[in-house]
Every structure is written in C-alpha cells, then in structure tokens.
Structure 1
C-alpha cells in the first residue's frame, strides 16, 4: 500500500474565463494533517471541491495531470451526472452544517444510511453503531439527537454530527472546509481537536481548508499557502515562523495578538506587503 493518500499534479480550476486555481501540486500522506490557508478568494475552497468532486461540469472546468486517491485516479471527465458521485475513501465536512444536513430526515436516519451504505449490516446494528458514533463525537444524549432534525440542534451539535457522519464511511482522506468558521473561538479549538483526534483513531488523513492560520499551526503537520489561485508555499506547521514567502509572512503578522492590541492601527495584508517591499528595496 502506498504511503501517499492524495496526489495532485497540475490541477487547474476555471469558472468560465476566470481561473480560480492554477497548476496546483499537492500530496497528503497517510495519517497526515495538512492545512490549506489563504484569504477569501485565494482558491482554497475551489481546490478542495475539485478534489472531492463537488464542482458541476456545467459551472466549472477542472483539469489535472494527476488526481489520485490511494493510488487510483479520480480525474472526472465532466460527462457524468450533475449530482456528485461519492468517491470511495473520501469524506467531507462542510463549512455550513445547517445546509449540509437534510432538514427532513432525522439525524439518526442520515447516520444509519451512511453506515449501511459503508457496511452491509442490519438496520438494528447500524442504529446501535450510530449511537456509538454520536457518543464518540461528544454528544451526551445520543438517543435524543437520533430523533432530532438538524434545525433542532445548536451549531456546535450540528458540526459534531457532521463529523460523525463523515467518519462513519471509514475514509482514508477527510476534507474539512472551514469546519470551525461558524463557531466561537473556544468551540473552534475543541471542534478542531476532536476532529483530528477522531481522524487519527480512524486512520484517516485530514485536509483542512481554513483562513485561521493560527489554528492550523496548532493542529496540522503541514501548511499549504494559496494566493490568487496559486500555491506559493508549503511548510511544516512547526516552522511557520520561518516562512519565507512575503504573503505567508503577511498572514502571520495579521494574526491578532496582545502586542498588536496596543497599536493605533492593526496590520493588514496591504500594509505588511508595503513594508516588506520597502525593506526589500
């Protein structure tokens, strides 16, 4: 079995005449936690959706020299159905759990459906496994949640349910698109910690798409930085302080700190870029 779970070479995503991702190269090893970071519009979500197969052929054009999951090509020709077809071995946690969960089906029905599609088990066994899955993500009253619908749960509870569903298919790669953006700071840390811990238990690699570079530094192994549709730097998370690309350095300097709170004007990407260009000159 290859050590590389995901291999991407020369991947480009275009929406009409607009190119969102240019010639991206990316690798994720088994059990590794990789973050894709950048400001809004940098192309990180388009890259994640292209890998997962969530871009409609009529809306986006995706080309790649290589796009492999567990050594099997998952390049999509654009001639398939409009509704995405599940890629075995890949699961995704979306930014907005409210719109990702079916508001008509109960949480239990959705979780049981995934479990039975993954393994040929009885409905009774799947229901028992579903309750165990909900407990595993920290839900203390799983029987009640099994009968609830998504709009009856808090944002934090919905995000935990999404993690339970995503990991129930036993993926080798879990893609998480802004998994903490709808949560406050304390809940975000707990949710990220829970997700990476559960993925490690399941043996799944994690690809996190986020604008929160500090959270990614804490919970991932590698940070991939995107700027204007291009990957400009890949660096070990522990070495972020030594990042060399001006854009990465700009992102780091824009992180709010106790020191920056005393400034009359908070740093922005534009102000940091201007200063760095001045220093280089």
Structure 2
C-alpha cells in the first residue's frame, strides 16, 4: 500500500483550502462522468421526473468526485514524482493524506446512499462498484502492475451511462451496454496518445504505461488498432436504432477522424512533430467522445419535447 506519511507531504490539515477540496474531486473527469450519465438517463424509454434525474446526477457526480479523492490519497507518492501531478493538494503539501481519505470515504457513502434512496438500489450498487473498481482494482492494483492498466481499468470510466440508465429505469439494457462499450474502446487510444508524450513522467514514477513497457512503436500500433474497432462501435447506437441520423453522421465523420488521427500517430514516430501529433490526437479524441454524447443527448431531448417518448 502506497500510503504517504504526513512528514512526506508537508503541511498539516489546516493548510487545505476549499479549492484544494475541489481539486480532489477531479472536476474535468467529473464533468465527463456527469455528461455520459445524462445520456444514460435519457435513454430510458419514458421521461424521468426532473427532480429524480437531478438528484441521480448529483449522486453520480459526488461518487465520481469521491473516486478522484481516494485516487489522489493513494497515489500521492507517485503524483509527487510526475510534473503534471506534483501540484495536486497532497504532494504539494497543502493537504494531508488522512484528510483526502476521510473526504473520499464520506462522499462515497453519501453518493451511494443518496442514489439508492432517491432512485433504486441497482443504480446505487453499480455506483458503489464503479467507485470500488476505480479505487481498488485500477488505482491500487492495475495502475502499478500492468501496461494493460488503462484497458482493464477503463471499465470504471465507462460505467456511468449504465448507472444513469439504471437510476432512470431500475434495470439495464443493450443501449446502455453499447454506451459502455464506446467509452471502454475509446479509452486506450485516448490515454495512450497522452502517454506517448508523458512517458518519461510515468517512467520516473515507476508506472508501467504501455510506451514504457511495450515501447512507443508497439503502443502506436495498439492505438491504431483500437481506433479501427472504435469507429464501428461508435456507430452502433444509430445501427441499433436508439440514435438518429444526426448521430449517425457525427459518428461516421468522427470515427473517420479518429482513424486518420491515430494513423498519423502510427506513421510519425520521431521528434517534436510526433509529440504534437500525439497531443493533437489526444485532444481530438475528447472532442470525438463529447460530440457523440452531445448529439445523442440533444436527439433524446428533442424526442422528449416533441412527445415521442411520452
């Protein structure tokens, strides 16, 4: 276990500010979780009461924040060694590990209980499993033991649409599983593009990311291979009939863009240009996923407003 002592991280509990607690929640990750959970809720065959939907989203968001806090608590030792994470509250000495642990545990319990009482216990159980998977399976085990950490661990980030659908319906469906599959297959080419640029950071921290274990060239091959799978998987909502033609167009164009970007990463392997292309692919992958879910959400909202789901 990688617990960091108070003396290693610096300042005492009183040094933490409200902004440090916000940082523990990983707001950018939380926003993606909420956005994909909204899509899961809107996939319900009948409209969800707005109050129930908002409470469910709040619980899911808090659960995502709890996962982030517990991740930062456990990873404080390696966060201190990487440039992009050294400024986080614990390694920077603004907060103790015990504070982050307590904060994360309280939020975890609150989010699961709230979702169970407000929606149903299937959704609450899925949320609890998501937190457990991210913190225990990914953070404590996979991240430090295998270059497949992002692949297997990516399931945690892919679960929110299923949690949202379960909150709205008390069940699961093929459509929610398809959204899970899209995020799951999207995660490796997305994150490995960043890992190609930050491989020295990961190497310094001793994290077995793909470029450090398999080598950059093998990682580029994997990135391209996953993009070839992602493009058709991204079309499944339209193919299966729970997304409309606008989604189909965006998914087709976005999937082609992902393949094109990953092919560029595969072909350009040396120098600063290779890093720029990898970072560009990382950024485009975020835009791609956002566009897919944004169009899906808009289509479902239009269907609700026009009475098609009533």
How high is the TM-score relative to the length of structure 1?
A: 0.31
More contact order relative to length (CA 8 Å, sep ≥ 6): 1
How high is the TM-score relative to the length of structure 2?
A: 0.29
